[in-house]
Structure 1
Amino acid sequence: MRLAVVTPWASPFIWTKFSTNLARMLAKFRRPGWECDFFAGHGCDPAARHNNMCLQALQWDADLICIIGADQVHPLDMFDRLIDRYRETDGGVISALVPFRGYVPWQHMKPFQPMGWRIRNGSSTELVKEFTGMDTTPEMFVPIDPADGDLQRVDVIGSGVLMFDRETIEALEKPWFHYQRDPETQQRIADMDTKMVWRLRSEVQVDVWVDTTIKVTHIHDMEIDDTFSRRFADWADGGDETICKTEAERPLAAEVSLTEA
Protein backbone atom coordinates (compact mmCIF):
# COMPACT_ATOMS: atom_id res chain seq x y z
CA MET A 1 0.00 0.00 0.00
CA ARG A 2 1.16 3.53 -0.77
CA LEU A 3 0.45 6.70 1.19
CA ALA A 4 1.12 10.03 -0.53
CA VAL A 5 1.47 12.98 1.84
CA VAL A 6 0.85 16.18 -0.12
CA THR A 7 0.85 19.91 0.59
CA PRO A 8 -0.10 22.85 -1.68
CA TRP A 9 3.14 24.80 -1.38
CA ALA A 10 5.16 26.28 -4.27
CA SER A 11 7.25 28.87 -2.41
CA PRO A 12 10.98 28.18 -1.87
CA PHE A 13 10.39 29.26 1.75
CA ILE A 14 8.41 27.19 4.24
CA TRP A 15 7.72 27.21 7.97
CA THR A 16 10.59 25.66 9.94
CA LYS A 17 8.22 24.22 12.57
CA PHE A 18 6.20 22.48 9.86
CA SER A 19 9.29 21.08 8.11
CA THR A 20 10.87 19.79 11.32
CA ASN A 21 7.61 18.24 12.48
CA LEU A 22 6.93 16.65 9.06
CA ALA A 23 10.37 15.02 9.06
CA ARG A 24 9.55 13.48 12.43
CA MET A 25 6.11 12.34 11.24
CA LEU A 26 7.59 10.62 8.18
CA ALA A 27 10.32 9.00 10.28
CA LYS A 28 7.72 7.68 12.74
CA PHE A 29 5.48 6.18 10.03
CA ARG A 30 6.64 2.57 9.88
CA ARG A 31 3.38 0.77 9.13
CA PRO A 32 4.11 -2.81 7.93
CA GLY A 33 3.48 -3.21 4.19
CA TRP A 34 3.22 0.54 3.54
CA GLU A 35 5.34 2.95 1.51
CA CYS A 36 5.15 6.71 2.04
CA ASP A 37 6.30 9.65 -0.08
CA PHE A 38 5.83 13.42 0.01
CA PHE A 39 4.75 15.76 -2.81
CA ALA A 40 4.42 19.56 -2.92
CA GLY A 41 1.84 21.01 -5.30
CA HIS A 42 2.86 23.71 -7.79
CA GLY A 43 0.71 26.25 -9.61
CA CYS A 44 -0.42 29.86 -9.81
CA ASP A 45 -2.87 29.71 -6.88
CA PRO A 46 -3.96 27.34 -4.09
CA ALA A 47 -6.54 25.56 -6.28
CA ALA A 48 -3.94 24.85 -8.97
CA ARG A 49 -1.48 23.63 -6.35
CA HIS A 50 -4.10 21.33 -4.81
CA ASN A 51 -4.87 19.81 -8.23
CA ASN A 52 -1.17 19.41 -9.05
CA MET A 53 -0.24 17.64 -5.82
CA CYS A 54 -3.10 15.17 -6.18
CA LEU A 55 -2.04 14.44 -9.77
CA GLN A 56 1.51 13.79 -8.57
CA ALA A 57 0.17 11.38 -5.96
CA LEU A 58 -1.89 9.48 -8.54
CA GLN A 59 1.07 9.30 -10.93
CA TRP A 60 3.02 7.68 -8.09
CA ASP A 61 0.16 5.13 -7.81
CA ALA A 62 -0.83 6.17 -4.29
CA ASP A 63 -3.58 4.16 -2.64
CA LEU A 64 -4.28 6.89 -0.07
CA ILE A 65 -3.67 10.63 -0.33
CA CYS A 66 -3.30 12.79 2.79
CA ILE A 67 -3.42 16.56 2.36
CA ILE A 68 -1.76 18.57 5.12
CA GLY A 69 -1.34 22.32 5.45
CA ALA A 70 2.26 23.58 5.34
CA ASP A 71 1.41 26.23 7.94
CA GLN A 72 0.42 23.71 10.59
CA VAL A 73 1.94 21.37 13.18
CA HIS A 74 0.41 17.89 13.43
CA PRO A 75 0.61 14.98 15.91
CA LEU A 76 3.57 12.73 15.09
CA ASP A 77 1.35 9.63 14.87
CA MET A 78 -1.36 11.32 12.79
CA PHE A 79 -0.89 9.26 9.60
CA ASP A 80 -1.43 5.99 11.47
CA ARG A 81 -4.45 7.40 13.27
CA LEU A 82 -6.02 8.61 10.02
CA ILE A 83 -5.48 5.24 8.34
CA ASP A 84 -7.05 3.49 11.34
CA ARG A 85 -10.09 5.76 11.02
CA TYR A 86 -10.22 5.15 7.26
CA ARG A 87 -10.48 1.43 7.90
CA GLU A 88 -12.90 1.87 10.79
CA THR A 89 -15.30 3.82 8.53
CA ASP A 90 -14.95 1.36 5.63
CA GLY A 91 -13.16 3.75 3.30
CA GLY A 92 -14.58 7.10 4.35
CA VAL A 93 -12.85 10.44 3.88
CA ILE A 94 -11.11 11.35 7.16
CA SER A 95 -10.29 14.87 8.36
CA ALA A 96 -9.26 16.81 11.45
CA LEU A 97 -10.27 20.20 12.83
CA VAL A 98 -7.82 23.06 12.31
CA PRO A 99 -8.14 26.24 14.41
CA PHE A 100 -9.15 29.18 12.23
CA ARG A 101 -6.46 31.83 12.00
CA GLY A 102 -8.76 34.78 12.55
CA TYR A 103 -12.51 35.42 12.43
CA VAL A 104 -15.25 35.41 9.79
CA PRO A 105 -18.46 36.75 11.42
CA TRP A 106 -20.99 35.39 8.93
CA GLN A 107 -19.78 31.81 9.46
CA HIS A 108 -21.38 31.58 12.93
CA MET A 109 -18.05 31.08 14.66
CA LYS A 110 -15.90 32.34 17.49
CA PRO A 111 -12.44 33.77 16.83
CA PHE A 112 -9.83 31.04 16.27
CA GLN A 113 -12.46 28.30 16.41
CA PRO A 114 -11.46 24.89 14.94
CA MET A 115 -13.78 24.73 11.96
CA GLY A 116 -15.85 22.00 10.31
CA TRP A 117 -19.60 22.05 9.65
CA ARG A 118 -22.51 19.66 9.40
CA ILE A 119 -25.97 20.29 8.04
CA ARG A 120 -28.25 21.70 10.71
CA ASN A 121 -31.24 19.44 10.01
CA GLY A 122 -29.51 16.16 9.32
CA SER A 123 -26.88 14.95 6.91
CA SER A 124 -28.56 13.61 3.79
CA THR A 125 -27.49 13.69 0.15
CA GLU A 126 -30.48 15.84 -0.83
CA LEU A 127 -29.76 18.42 1.87
CA VAL A 128 -26.10 18.52 0.89
CA LYS A 129 -27.09 19.24 -2.72
CA GLU A 130 -28.98 22.34 -1.56
CA PHE A 131 -25.74 23.89 -0.34
CA THR A 132 -24.42 26.59 -2.69
CA GLY A 133 -21.50 27.95 -0.67
CA MET A 134 -20.46 29.06 2.81
CA ASP A 135 -20.76 32.64 1.57
CA THR A 136 -24.40 32.22 0.44
CA THR A 137 -26.02 29.59 2.69
CA PRO A 138 -24.14 29.64 6.02
CA GLU A 139 -27.42 29.29 7.90
CA MET A 140 -27.70 25.65 6.72
CA PHE A 141 -24.78 24.61 8.91
CA VAL A 142 -23.67 24.34 12.51
CA PRO A 143 -20.01 24.05 13.53
CA ILE A 144 -18.68 20.70 14.71
CA ASP A 145 -18.40 20.55 18.50
CA PRO A 146 -15.63 18.18 19.70
CA ALA A 147 -17.71 17.52 22.82
CA ASP A 148 -20.22 15.64 20.63
CA GLY A 149 -17.81 12.76 20.01
CA ASP A 150 -14.36 11.61 18.96
CA LEU A 151 -15.50 10.69 15.43
CA GLN A 152 -18.27 12.68 13.77
CA ARG A 153 -19.80 13.00 10.33
CA VAL A 154 -18.99 16.30 8.65
CA ASP A 155 -20.42 17.84 5.47
CA VAL A 156 -18.07 20.78 4.87
CA ILE A 157 -14.48 21.13 6.06
CA GLY A 158 -11.22 22.54 4.75
CA SER A 159 -8.19 20.64 3.47
CA GLY A 160 -5.86 21.35 6.39
CA VAL A 161 -5.98 17.62 7.15
CA LEU A 162 -7.84 15.46 4.63
CA MET A 163 -7.26 11.78 3.77
CA PHE A 164 -9.04 9.94 0.96
CA ASP A 165 -8.36 7.03 -1.38
CA ARG A 166 -7.59 7.23 -5.08
CA GLU A 167 -11.01 5.83 -6.05
CA THR A 168 -12.70 8.76 -4.31
CA ILE A 169 -10.71 11.50 -6.06
CA GLU A 170 -10.93 9.72 -9.42
CA ALA A 171 -14.72 9.57 -9.10
CA LEU A 172 -14.91 13.37 -8.79
CA GLU A 173 -15.28 15.40 -11.98
CA LYS A 174 -12.33 17.68 -12.80
CA PRO A 175 -11.25 20.24 -11.88
CA TRP A 176 -11.21 18.81 -8.37
CA PHE A 177 -10.39 22.19 -6.82
CA HIS A 178 -11.54 25.47 -8.32
CA TYR A 179 -12.47 29.00 -7.30
CA GLN A 180 -15.61 31.04 -7.66
CA ARG A 181 -14.67 34.41 -9.14
CA ASP A 182 -16.57 37.66 -9.45
CA PRO A 183 -16.53 38.31 -13.23
CA GLU A 184 -16.22 42.08 -12.76
CA THR A 185 -13.71 42.39 -9.92
CA GLN A 186 -12.00 38.99 -10.40
CA GLN A 187 -12.04 38.64 -6.61
CA ARG A 188 -12.16 34.99 -5.63
CA ILE A 189 -14.01 33.36 -2.75
CA ALA A 190 -11.66 31.25 -0.64
CA ASP A 191 -13.76 28.09 -0.64
CA MET A 192 -12.02 25.86 -3.16
CA ASP A 193 -11.24 23.18 -0.53
CA THR A 194 -14.53 23.25 1.36
CA LYS A 195 -16.39 23.18 -1.97
CA MET A 196 -14.39 20.11 -2.99
CA VAL A 197 -15.41 18.30 0.22
CA TRP A 198 -19.04 19.28 -0.38
CA ARG A 199 -18.75 17.82 -3.90
CA LEU A 200 -17.42 14.58 -2.44
CA ARG A 201 -20.56 14.46 -0.31
CA SER A 202 -23.05 15.55 -2.98
CA GLU A 203 -21.59 14.09 -6.20
CA VAL A 204 -19.50 11.09 -5.13
CA GLN A 205 -21.81 10.52 -2.12
CA VAL A 206 -18.98 9.38 0.12
CA ASP A 207 -19.10 9.74 3.89
CA VAL A 208 -16.75 12.37 5.34
CA TRP A 209 -15.64 12.09 8.97
CA VAL A 210 -13.71 14.29 11.36
CA ASP A 211 -11.54 12.86 14.14
CA THR A 212 -11.82 15.45 16.90
CA THR A 213 -9.07 13.79 18.96
CA ILE A 214 -6.41 14.89 16.46
CA LYS A 215 -5.17 18.26 17.67
CA VAL A 216 -3.59 20.51 15.04
CA THR A 217 -1.98 23.90 15.60
CA HIS A 218 -2.12 26.66 12.98
CA ILE A 219 1.16 28.54 12.69
CA HIS A 220 1.12 32.34 12.89
CA ASP A 221 3.33 34.52 15.10
CA MET A 222 2.56 31.71 17.52
CA GLU A 223 0.92 28.31 17.17
CA ILE A 224 -2.87 28.71 17.38
CA ASP A 225 -4.40 25.69 19.08
CA ASP A 226 -7.90 24.68 20.19
CA THR A 227 -7.61 26.62 23.47
CA PHE A 228 -7.70 30.01 21.74
CA SER A 229 -11.42 29.90 20.92
CA ARG A 230 -12.28 28.99 24.53
CA ARG A 231 -11.30 32.51 25.53
CA PHE A 232 -14.33 33.69 23.54
CA ALA A 233 -16.96 31.47 25.18
CA ASP A 234 -19.29 34.46 25.66
CA TRP A 235 -18.70 35.81 22.15
CA ALA A 236 -21.90 36.97 20.41
CA ASP A 237 -22.69 35.04 17.24
CA GLY A 238 -21.62 37.30 14.40
CA GLY A 239 -24.17 35.68 12.11
CA ASP A 240 -27.07 36.60 14.39
CA GLU A 241 -28.80 39.51 12.67
CA THR A 242 -30.64 40.41 15.88
CA ILE A 243 -27.25 41.33 17.33
CA CYS A 244 -25.08 42.40 14.42
CA LYS A 245 -26.13 44.61 11.55
CA THR A 246 -25.47 43.53 7.99
CA GLU A 247 -23.16 45.53 5.73
CA ALA A 248 -26.16 47.13 4.02
CA GLU A 249 -27.53 48.39 7.35
CA ARG A 250 -24.31 49.97 8.51
CA PRO A 251 -23.97 53.70 7.83
CA LEU A 252 -21.30 54.72 5.36
CA ALA A 253 -18.34 56.57 6.82
CA ALA A 254 -19.31 59.64 4.80
CA GLU A 255 -22.72 59.69 6.49
CA VAL A 256 -21.36 59.72 10.05
CA SER A 257 -20.78 63.25 11.29
CA LEU A 258 -18.05 64.20 13.72
CA THR A 259 -20.77 65.01 16.27
CA GLU A 260 -22.27 61.52 15.97
CA ALA A 261 -18.87 59.92 16.25
Structure 2
Amino acid sequence: MTKETDTAKTVSFGFEEVSPEEKVSRVKGVFRSVASRYDVMNDLMSAGVHRLWKHDTIAKLNPQPGERLLDVAGGTGDLSKAFVDRADKVARRRGKAGEASAIVCDINDAMLDAGRARSDMAAYDSRIGWVCGDAQALPFEDRTFDALTIAFGIRNVADRAQALSEFRRVLKPGGRLAVLEFSHMTVPMLQKLYDTYSFNVIPRMGEIVASDRASYQYLVESIRKFPKQEDFRDEVEAAGFSGVSVTNFSGGIAALHFGWAA
Protein backbone atom coordinates (compact mmCIF):
# COMPACT_ATOMS: atom_id res chain seq x y z
CA MET A 1 0.00 0.00 0.00
CA THR A 2 1.42 3.39 -0.98
CA LYS A 3 1.81 6.33 1.29
CA GLU A 4 -0.64 8.28 -0.88
CA THR A 5 -3.33 5.63 -0.31
CA ASP A 6 -2.76 5.76 3.45
CA THR A 7 -3.10 9.54 3.44
CA ALA A 8 -6.30 9.40 1.42
CA LYS A 9 -7.88 7.28 4.12
CA THR A 10 -7.23 9.68 6.98
CA VAL A 11 -9.32 12.59 8.20
CA SER A 12 -8.66 15.34 10.70
CA PHE A 13 -9.50 14.97 14.36
CA GLY A 14 -8.47 18.42 15.46
CA PHE A 15 -4.83 18.74 14.45
CA GLU A 16 -4.36 14.95 14.29
CA GLU A 17 -4.85 12.73 11.25
CA VAL A 18 -6.80 9.57 12.06
CA SER A 19 -8.86 6.97 10.23
CA PRO A 20 -12.52 7.80 9.58
CA GLU A 21 -13.55 5.03 11.97
CA GLU A 22 -11.34 6.39 14.73
CA LYS A 23 -12.73 9.90 14.26
CA VAL A 24 -16.30 8.64 14.63
CA SER A 25 -15.36 6.79 17.82
CA ARG A 26 -13.43 9.70 19.30
CA VAL A 27 -16.11 12.27 18.47
CA LYS A 28 -18.63 10.06 20.26
CA GLY A 29 -16.31 10.09 23.27
CA VAL A 30 -15.96 13.87 23.20
CA PHE A 31 -19.68 14.53 23.28
CA ARG A 32 -20.44 11.77 25.74
CA SER A 33 -17.97 13.47 28.06
CA VAL A 34 -19.39 16.98 27.69
CA ALA A 35 -23.11 16.20 27.30
CA SER A 36 -24.19 17.18 30.81
CA ARG A 37 -22.49 20.60 30.56
CA TYR A 38 -22.94 21.16 26.82
CA ASP A 39 -25.54 23.95 26.97
CA VAL A 40 -23.75 25.75 29.81
CA MET A 41 -20.44 25.67 27.93
CA ASN A 42 -22.04 26.95 24.73
CA ASP A 43 -23.40 29.95 26.62
CA LEU A 44 -20.05 30.63 28.26
CA MET A 45 -17.91 30.19 25.14
CA SER A 46 -20.05 32.48 23.00
CA ALA A 47 -21.34 34.80 25.74
CA GLY A 48 -24.80 33.58 24.75
CA VAL A 49 -24.46 34.80 21.15
CA HIS A 50 -24.98 31.27 19.78
CA ARG A 51 -28.65 31.71 20.65
CA LEU A 52 -28.87 34.70 18.30
CA TRP A 53 -27.17 32.72 15.53
CA LYS A 54 -29.70 29.92 16.00
CA HIS A 55 -32.58 32.41 16.03
CA ASP A 56 -31.42 33.83 12.70
CA THR A 57 -30.97 30.33 11.29
CA ILE A 58 -34.58 29.44 12.09
CA ALA A 59 -35.77 32.77 10.69
CA LYS A 60 -34.00 31.97 7.41
CA LEU A 61 -35.53 28.49 7.40
CA ASN A 62 -39.02 30.02 7.75
CA PRO A 63 -40.86 27.03 9.31
CA GLN A 64 -44.47 26.49 8.23
CA PRO A 65 -47.38 24.65 9.88
CA GLY A 66 -47.39 20.95 9.08
CA GLU A 67 -43.72 20.81 8.08
CA ARG A 68 -41.27 18.23 9.34
CA LEU A 69 -37.71 19.04 10.37
CA LEU A 70 -34.72 16.73 10.72
CA ASP A 71 -32.21 18.23 13.16
CA VAL A 72 -28.98 16.31 12.53
CA ALA A 73 -26.40 16.32 15.33
CA GLY A 74 -29.22 18.10 17.12
CA GLY A 75 -27.86 17.48 20.59
CA THR A 76 -30.18 18.94 23.20
CA GLY A 77 -32.82 20.07 20.71
CA ASP A 78 -32.49 23.88 20.57
CA LEU A 79 -33.23 24.15 16.85
CA SER A 80 -36.02 21.58 16.89
CA LYS A 81 -37.84 23.42 19.65
CA ALA A 82 -37.36 26.77 17.87
CA PHE A 83 -38.62 25.30 14.58
CA VAL A 84 -41.84 24.04 16.16
CA ASP A 85 -42.40 27.29 18.08
CA ARG A 86 -41.94 29.47 15.01
CA ALA A 87 -44.23 27.30 12.87
CA ASP A 88 -46.90 27.55 15.57
CA LYS A 89 -46.65 31.35 15.50
CA VAL A 90 -47.22 31.29 11.74
CA ALA A 91 -50.22 29.00 12.24
CA ARG A 92 -51.79 31.34 14.79
CA ARG A 93 -51.12 34.42 12.69
CA ARG A 94 -52.43 33.00 9.42
CA GLY A 95 -55.05 30.62 10.73
CA LYS A 96 -53.30 27.68 9.09
CA ALA A 97 -53.90 24.08 10.15
CA GLY A 98 -51.32 21.40 10.77
CA GLU A 99 -48.72 21.02 13.51
CA ALA A 100 -45.05 21.15 12.63
CA SER A 101 -42.83 18.43 14.06
CA ALA A 102 -39.13 17.66 14.36
CA ILE A 103 -36.76 14.77 14.89
CA VAL A 104 -33.46 15.26 16.71
CA CYS A 105 -30.98 12.80 15.23
CA ASP A 106 -27.64 12.52 17.00
CA ILE A 107 -24.95 9.85 16.94
CA ASN A 108 -24.41 10.27 20.67
CA ASP A 109 -26.98 8.79 23.03
CA ALA A 110 -25.69 10.89 25.94
CA MET A 111 -26.53 14.10 24.07
CA LEU A 112 -30.02 12.80 23.30
CA ASP A 113 -30.50 11.90 26.95
CA ALA A 114 -29.45 15.41 27.97
CA GLY A 115 -31.94 16.89 25.52
CA ARG A 116 -34.83 14.72 26.63
CA ALA A 117 -34.09 15.62 30.25
CA ARG A 118 -34.50 19.35 29.66
CA SER A 119 -37.41 20.70 31.69
CA ASP A 120 -38.63 22.84 28.79
CA MET A 121 -38.96 19.80 26.51
CA ALA A 122 -41.80 18.15 28.44
CA ALA A 123 -44.43 20.06 26.47
CA TYR A 124 -43.01 18.81 23.16
CA ASP A 125 -43.28 15.05 23.73
CA SER A 126 -45.70 14.56 20.83
CA ARG A 127 -43.94 17.02 18.52
CA ILE A 128 -40.22 16.26 18.85
CA GLY A 129 -38.75 12.79 18.44
CA TRP A 130 -35.28 11.60 19.42
CA VAL A 131 -33.32 9.16 17.24
CA CYS A 132 -29.76 7.88 17.64
CA GLY A 133 -28.25 7.89 14.15
CA ASP A 134 -25.21 8.70 12.04
CA ALA A 135 -25.24 11.73 9.70
CA GLN A 136 -23.43 9.57 7.12
CA ALA A 137 -26.16 6.89 7.12
CA LEU A 138 -29.41 8.49 8.20
CA PRO A 139 -32.07 5.96 9.29
CA PHE A 140 -34.87 7.60 7.29
CA GLU A 141 -36.61 7.07 3.96
CA ASP A 142 -35.92 9.17 0.88
CA ARG A 143 -37.73 12.51 0.53
CA THR A 144 -39.09 12.51 4.08
CA PHE A 145 -38.37 16.00 5.44
CA ASP A 146 -39.25 19.57 4.48
CA ALA A 147 -36.18 21.02 6.16
CA LEU A 148 -32.88 19.83 7.64
CA THR A 149 -30.60 21.60 10.08
CA ILE A 150 -27.19 20.79 11.47
CA ALA A 151 -25.66 23.24 13.95
CA PHE A 152 -22.02 22.98 14.98
CA GLY A 153 -21.97 19.34 13.91
CA ILE A 154 -20.80 19.07 10.31
CA ARG A 155 -17.14 19.60 11.23
CA ASN A 156 -17.31 16.52 13.45
CA VAL A 157 -18.44 14.25 10.60
CA ALA A 158 -15.75 11.98 9.18
CA ASP A 159 -17.01 12.18 5.58
CA ARG A 160 -18.75 15.50 4.87
CA ALA A 161 -19.54 14.60 1.26
CA GLN A 162 -21.33 11.44 2.36
CA ALA A 163 -23.29 13.34 5.01
CA LEU A 164 -24.33 16.05 2.55
CA SER A 165 -25.44 13.35 0.12
CA GLU A 166 -27.59 11.86 2.87
CA PHE A 167 -29.06 15.28 3.66
CA ARG A 168 -30.03 15.64 0.01
CA ARG A 169 -31.53 12.12 -0.03
CA VAL A 170 -33.88 12.58 2.92
CA LEU A 171 -35.10 16.05 1.91
CA LYS A 172 -38.15 16.48 -0.27
CA PRO A 173 -37.64 18.30 -3.59
CA GLY A 174 -37.55 21.97 -2.68
CA GLY A 175 -36.58 21.15 0.90
CA ARG A 176 -34.30 23.56 2.73
CA LEU A 177 -30.88 22.84 4.18
CA ALA A 178 -29.38 25.03 6.91
CA VAL A 179 -25.83 24.32 8.08
CA LEU A 180 -24.70 26.52 10.97
CA GLU A 181 -21.04 26.08 11.80
CA PHE A 182 -18.11 27.87 13.38
CA SER A 183 -16.08 29.34 10.55
CA HIS A 184 -13.36 31.84 9.66
CA MET A 185 -13.41 35.55 10.43
CA THR A 186 -13.50 37.96 7.53
CA VAL A 187 -10.80 40.25 9.00
CA PRO A 188 -7.37 38.55 9.42
CA MET A 189 -6.38 40.61 12.46
CA LEU A 190 -9.60 39.67 14.24
CA GLN A 191 -8.96 36.03 13.35
CA LYS A 192 -5.64 36.21 15.18
CA LEU A 193 -7.31 37.67 18.27
CA TYR A 194 -10.06 35.05 18.13
CA ASP A 195 -7.49 32.25 17.80
CA THR A 196 -5.69 33.57 20.86
CA TYR A 197 -8.94 33.52 22.83
CA SER A 198 -9.95 30.09 21.50
CA PHE A 199 -6.73 28.27 22.24
CA ASN A 200 -5.97 29.90 25.56
CA VAL A 201 -9.38 30.42 27.16
CA ILE A 202 -11.79 27.76 25.89
CA PRO A 203 -9.80 24.62 26.86
CA ARG A 204 -9.18 26.12 30.30
CA MET A 205 -12.88 26.95 30.60
CA GLY A 206 -13.72 23.37 29.65
CA GLU A 207 -11.36 22.13 32.35
CA ILE A 208 -13.00 24.28 35.02
CA VAL A 209 -16.67 23.96 34.05
CA ALA A 210 -16.87 20.52 32.44
CA SER A 211 -13.76 18.90 33.96
CA ASP A 212 -12.63 18.11 30.43
CA ARG A 213 -9.84 20.17 28.88
CA ALA A 214 -9.01 17.67 26.12
CA SER A 215 -12.49 17.69 24.55
CA TYR A 216 -12.53 21.48 24.27
CA GLN A 217 -8.98 21.48 22.93
CA TYR A 218 -10.28 19.24 20.15
CA LEU A 219 -13.27 21.52 19.55
CA VAL A 220 -11.15 24.62 18.97
CA GLU A 221 -8.73 22.68 16.76
CA SER A 222 -11.61 21.28 14.71
CA ILE A 223 -12.89 24.81 14.03
CA ARG A 224 -9.53 25.85 12.60
CA LYS A 225 -9.43 22.74 10.37
CA PHE A 226 -12.90 23.36 8.91
CA PRO A 227 -12.96 24.74 5.33
CA LYS A 228 -13.39 28.44 4.67
CA GLN A 229 -16.86 29.65 3.79
CA GLU A 230 -16.49 29.62 0.02
CA ASP A 231 -14.87 26.17 0.01
CA PHE A 232 -17.65 24.64 2.08
CA ARG A 233 -20.22 26.33 -0.15
CA ASP A 234 -18.64 24.45 -3.07
CA GLU A 235 -19.07 21.19 -1.13
CA VAL A 236 -22.75 21.89 -0.52
CA GLU A 237 -23.31 22.70 -4.19
CA ALA A 238 -21.43 19.56 -5.25
CA ALA A 239 -23.89 17.53 -3.16
CA GLY A 240 -26.75 18.73 -5.34
CA PHE A 241 -28.08 21.77 -3.51
CA SER A 242 -29.03 24.90 -5.44
CA GLY A 243 -29.15 28.59 -4.58
CA VAL A 244 -26.55 28.09 -1.85
CA SER A 245 -25.94 31.25 0.17
CA VAL A 246 -23.53 32.09 2.97
CA THR A 247 -24.37 34.39 5.87
CA ASN A 248 -21.55 35.34 8.22
CA PHE A 249 -22.42 35.88 11.86
CA SER A 250 -20.28 37.99 14.22
CA GLY A 251 -17.71 38.71 11.53
CA GLY A 252 -17.39 35.09 10.48
CA ILE A 253 -17.02 33.42 13.89
CA ALA A 254 -19.95 31.37 12.64
CA ALA A 255 -21.50 31.05 9.19
CA LEU A 256 -24.82 29.80 7.90
CA HIS A 257 -24.81 27.87 4.63
CA PHE A 258 -28.33 27.67 3.23
CA GLY A 259 -29.48 25.77 0.15
CA TRP A 260 -32.39 24.08 -1.60
CA ALA A 261 -32.75 20.42 -2.53
CA ALA A 262 -33.26 20.19 -6.29
The normalised TM-score by structure 2 is 0.24
Q: Which has the higher contact order (CA 8 A, sep 6+)?
A: 1
Higher helix share: 2
The normalised TM-score by structure 1 is 0.24
Rg larger in 1 or in 2?
A: 1
